[in-house]
Structure 1
Amino acid sequence: MRNTFSEYYSPSNEDYAQFLEGGKIALDANVLLAPYKVDADARKQIFEILTQLRERLWVPYQAGYEFFKNRPSVMAGEEKVYQSLETPLVAARKKIEDHAKSLSGHPVVTPLETKKILDGIDRIISMVHTLQKGRDSRLEDSLRDDPILAKWENLLESRIGERPSPEGHSELVEAVTKRYAEGIPPGLQDEDKPENSHGDGVLWLQILDKTKIDRLPTLLITDDVKDDWYRRHGGKTIGPRIELVREMQDSAGVAYYQQPLASFVQRAGAFLHKPVSEKTVTQVAGITSSVLSGSAFERSVYSALLTQFPTQDVTQYPQEFYPVDLSVRIGAVVVGVVVTLDSALARRNIALNLNQALKGRKFDAILLVTPKPLNSKASDFLMNLAEGAVKPLDAVTWHPLRSDSFRLAGTVASLADQARSIVLGP
């Protein structure tokens, strides 16, 4: 049975040993960037494992290209840290100032004491500004003298895929476009991205081409958690897409498997007798979980709504049958919820789904949920759509790691109130 349906099986310890001892371990760009996102101890453990496997390592050209392209923005990620520090400080200052005004004349809290508290917060905000101001100069120094890059240079010497010629790259893009039209993964979820829409497909074809030459069992380490790379069951990742395993078997005649970095360091570390700490596994897994897949984001939105509304009033819909992903019934009205990772609304089906949902009779209001704010073009599109609609339409930015369910539920309830006044009248 295993021989006939091998693509459905996770590798046994013996199978996994073949990848580590005599196979090829391909690294995606997100894995090359991972050491910048963890602490020194976790970084050390990751590199110890990879160093022991250095003869097996290989990086497709596309992964190397995306690594160097994205490296500056990843290294500059501290800017977001400063922004996340400043926002609650400014909000706290405003609340304290407003509360102090409401206590004007109170004998306990004098104006002088209030001023001291506000001055203290102002000093902290000023310090955050100073730290952020020096970011650009520090980034330039870090890019020039980068110990992590030096580690990769030493580890991956002569282990990078060859850069394709312009003609070769065009052929790859053309092949990926054809695959997308036929619904062949990976990369389908990036098809309508305004930039690098063919990146995943090109990466995969480069891995295939390399494997056809080497004929070695291939293990891809990637933290790309989108559903066109991994298959899931019950919300859990259970292995690569079956299509990918089959294609590798059919085209190169070798075994194929893929893992997120956290799973790799845990299993490979045990095999190499270099066990990694639970702290390292947690940190590395956190990198992956901060990058949402479409299905994971929808599940998060669904779970958040279930915490605020009765279970029987929150419904999930099969995407192929309905223009919305979820709905919430509040009294006599139903709010349809369209969930997407694409804050640019570049994917063609998003506009189609919104239009269809607004014109249909099943939903009384429509809410668009994205994990990032809409860009200006998308905002204009939504505004124009709302102006021409007879039903309330709104959008909310919500992320499971940065937002609470009350905010999401509040937006749904507000839309329901608007719809109720239309459906039932004043």
Structure 2
Amino acid sequence: MKNIFSEYYSPSDAKYSQFLKEGLIALDANVLLAPYKVDSDARKQIFEILTHLKDRLWVPYQAGYEFFKNRPAVMAGEDKVYQSLETPLIAARKKVEEHLKSIAGHPVITPSDTKDILNGIDQIISKIHILQKGRDSRLEDSLRDDAILKKWEDLLDSRIGERPSPESHHAMIETVTKRYTEGTPPGLQDEDKPDNSHGDGILWLQLLDKARVTESPILLITDDVKDDWYRRHGGKTIGPRIELVREMQDSAGVAYYQQPLSFFVQRAGKVLHKPVSEKTVRQVVGASASVISGSAFENAVYSELLTQFPASDITQYVQDFAPVDLAVRVGSAVVGVIVTLDSTLIHRNTGKFLTQAINGRKFDAILLVTPKPLSARHQDFLMNLTEDSPKPLNAVTWHPTRLNSVRLSKAVLSLADQAISTVLRS
């Protein structure tokens, strides 16, 4: 049975040791960026394991390109703190200015008052600009003298895939586009991204090409845990997609396995007799949480709501193309919750679902939950939608690993109160 359905089996300790001793250990961009997100002790333990495996390491060109492209943003702080402060203030100033113009003739608000109000908002925005410039100058120094980059340069010398020619790159894009049309992973969940939508597919093609040349087993370490890379059961990651294991075997004739970095440092550390601490594992898990999968994110939202509301008051909608993912009953009000990884609202269904949920009769209020802040353009979109909405609507940024995330229960309760008040007033 194991010989026929080997792709469903996780490697035994002996097989895993073979990956480490004879295989090629490929590192994705998110793994290259991980050391910037953990403390010095965790970083030291990660690099100790990788140094021991130096002769087996390899980075696809696509992963290296994405590392350098995203490195400044990660070093500056992946949460983009200043941008998240400035964007809503600029949007609010625009709305305040429009409102002040609409009441320009009112005796209570004089032209002087209007000027003072707008100047006050401008001063706050200016203060954020000053803080951001200070951060940018420090970032420039860090980019120029980067100890982590120097460590990677030492470990990965002559171990980066060659840059494809323009013709080769164009051919890979065409191949990936065809794979998306046929529903072939990986990268399917990035198909609608406005930028680098073919990245995962190109990385996979480069892995296949490398495997054909080296004829070595491939162990990919990637924290991209979206459902088009990993297989799950009960919300838990249990291994790579079966299609990937099969394609690697059929196309290159070699074994294939993949792991998130947290799993890798635990298992490889054990095999190499270089165990890592629980603290390091927790930090690595936290560093990779920004690439949480859609299903895992929805499960995390559901679990968070369960800490404040009884299970009998929460409904999960598992069917595809439902207007909402979850619904929470609070007294006489039902708050529909739309959970999306796409904080730009560019995904073809998010805007449609919002409109359907607002216009439907089933929900009294709507809450949009994303792991990253909305862009300025889509904050305006949401604000306009809120003004025209017949029912309360709000969007919150929440992430399961960030302690400063807004409490979802608070957002739900606030919307429910607004919905009940609206009914009572009418």
TM over 0.5: yes
Taking the aligned partners of 2:382 and 2:319, their CA distance within structure 1 comes to: 21
TM-score scaled by length of structure 2: 0.82
Report the AA paired with residue 226 of structure 1: K
Q: Please tell me whether the aligned partners of residues 326 and 338 of structure 2 are also in contact (alpha carbons under 8 angstroms).
A: yes
Report the AA paired with residue 219 of structure 1: L
Report the AA paired with residue 302 of structure 1: Y
Percent identical among aligned pairs is: 75
Shift of 1:227: 2.0
Q: Please tell me whether the aligned partners of residues 34 and 288 of structure 2 are also in contact (alpha carbons under 8 angstroms).
A: no
Assess, with a 3 A threshold, how the Cα gap between structure 1 residues 406 and 41 changes in structure 2: closer, same or farther: closer
Report the AA paired with residue 220 of structure 1: L
Assess, with a 3 A threshold, how the Cα gap between structure 1 residues 362 and 403 changes in structure 2: closer, same or farther: farther
Report the AA paired with residue 292 of structure 1: I
Taking the aligned partners of 2:406 and 2:307, their CA distance within structure 1 comes to: 9
Q: Please tell me whether the aligned partners of residues 224 and 292 of structure 2 are also in contact (alpha carbons under 8 angstroms).
A: no
Matched position secondary structure for 2:349: helix
What residue in structure 1 maps to residue 221 of structure 2? 221
Shift of 1:230: 1.5
Q: Please tell me whether the aligned partners of residues 399 and 405 of structure 2 are also in contact (alpha carbons under 8 angstroms).
A: no
TM-score scaled by length of structure 1: 0.82
Equivalent positions of 1:65-104 (< 5 A) are: 65-77=65-77
Q: Please tell me whether the aligned partners of residues 358 and 391 of structure 1 are also in contact (alpha carbons under 8 angstroms).
A: yes
Q: Please tell me whether the aligned partners of residues 308 and 405 of structure 1 are also in contact (alpha carbons under 8 angstroms).
A: no
What residue in structure 2 maps to residue 300 of structure 1? 300
Matched position secondary structure for 1:31: helix
Assess, with a 3 A threshold, how the Cα gap between structure 1 residues 131 and 331 changes in structure 2: closer, same or farther: closer
Taking the aligned partners of 1:66 and 1:13, their CA distance within structure 2 comes to: 32
Report the AA paired with residue 340 of structure 2: T
Report the AA paired with residue 69 of structure 1: K
Shift of 1:364: 2.9
- RMSD over equivalenced CA pairs, Å: 2.8
Assess, with a 3 A threshold, how the Cα gap between structure 1 residues 181 and 323 changes in structure 2: closer, same or farther: farther
Shift of 1:188: 2.0
Shift of 1:328: 0.9
Shift of 1:145: 2.5
Assess, with a 3 A threshold, how the Cα gap between structure 1 residues 371 and 358 changes in structure 2: closer, same or farther: same
Matched position secondary structure for 1:390: coil
What residue in structure 2 maps to residue 55 of structure 1? 55
What residue in structure 2 maps to residue 317 of structure 1? 317
Taking the aligned partners of 1:247 and 1:363, their CA distance within structure 2 comes to: 45
Q: Please tell me whether the aligned partners of residues 222 and 260 of structure 2 are also in contact (alpha carbons under 8 angstroms).
A: yes
After alignment, is 395-404 or 311-320 more displaced?
A: 395-404
Shift of 1:179: 2.0
Assess, with a 3 A threshold, how the Cα gap between structure 1 residues 142 and 366 changes in structure 2: closer, same or farther: closer
What residue in structure 2 maps to residue 281 of structure 1? 281
Report the AA paired with residue 51 of structure 2: T
CA shift digits 1:127-159 (9 cap, x unpaired): xx9998754444333322222222221221211
Q: Please tell me whether the aligned partners of residues 305 and 405 of structure 1 are also in contact (alpha carbons under 8 angstroms).
A: no
Equivalent positions of 1:252-401 (< 5 A) are: 252-320=252-320, 322-401=322-401
Assess, with a 3 A threshold, how the Cα gap between structure 1 residues 167 and 76 changes in structure 2: closer, same or farther: same
Q: Please tell me whether the aligned partners of residues 79 and 135 of structure 1 are also in contact (alpha carbons under 8 angstroms).
A: no
After alignment, is 69-78 or 234-243 more displaced?
A: 69-78
Assess, with a 3 A threshold, how the Cα gap between structure 1 residues 175 and 388 changes in structure 2: closer, same or farther: farther
Which blocks of at least 5 consecutive residues in structure 2 are unaligned?
A: 85-128
Matched position secondary structure for 1:65: helix
Residue 130 (structure 2) pairs with residue 144 (structure 1) = no
Shift of 1:315: 0.8
Residue 169 (structure 2) pairs with residue 157 (structure 1) = no
Shift of 1:196: 1.5
Matched position secondary structure for 1:171: helix
Taking the aligned partners of 1:369 and 1:332, their CA distance within structure 2 comes to: 22
Shift of 1:224: 1.4
CA shift digits 1:167-224 (9 cap, x unpaired): 2112212222222222222222222222222211111111112112222110000111
Shift of 1:290: 4.6
Q: Please tell me whether the aligned partners of residues 398 and 406 of structure 2 are also in contact (alpha carbons under 8 angstroms).
A: no
Report the AA paired with residue 349 of structure 1: N
Assess, with a 3 A threshold, how the Cα gap between structure 1 residues 247 and 314 changes in structure 2: closer, same or farther: same
Assess, with a 3 A threshold, how the Cα gap between structure 1 residues 404 and 176 changes in structure 2: closer, same or farther: same
After alignment, is 60-69 or 269-278 more displaced?
A: 269-278
Report the AA paired with residue 261 of structure 2: L
Taking the aligned partners of 2:371 and 2:181, their CA distance within structure 1 comes to: 27
Taking the aligned partners of 1:348 and 1:314, their CA distance within structure 2 comes to: 26
What residue in structure 1 maps to residue 419 of structure 2? 419
What residue in structure 1 maps to residue 99 of structure 2? none
Assess, with a 3 A threshold, how the Cα gap between structure 1 residues 50 and 5 changes in structure 2: closer, same or farther: same
Taking the aligned partners of 1:298 and 1:79, their CA distance within structure 2 comes to: 20
Assess, with a 3 A threshold, how the Cα gap between structure 1 residues 79 and 337 changes in structure 2: closer, same or farther: closer
List structure 1 segments (4+ residues) > 6 angstroms apart after TM superposition.
78-84, 129-133
Assess, with a 3 A threshold, how the Cα gap between structure 1 residues 34 and 242 changes in structure 2: closer, same or farther: same
After alignment, is 23-32 or 174-183 more displaced?
A: 174-183
Assess, with a 3 A threshold, how the Cα gap between structure 1 residues 402 and 159 changes in structure 2: closer, same or farther: closer
After alignment, is 325-334 or 403-412 more displaced?
A: 403-412
Q: Please tell me whether the aligned partners of residues 364 and 392 of structure 1 are also in contact (alpha carbons under 8 angstroms).
A: yes
Which blocks of at least 5 consecutive residues in structure 1 are unaligned?
A: 85-128
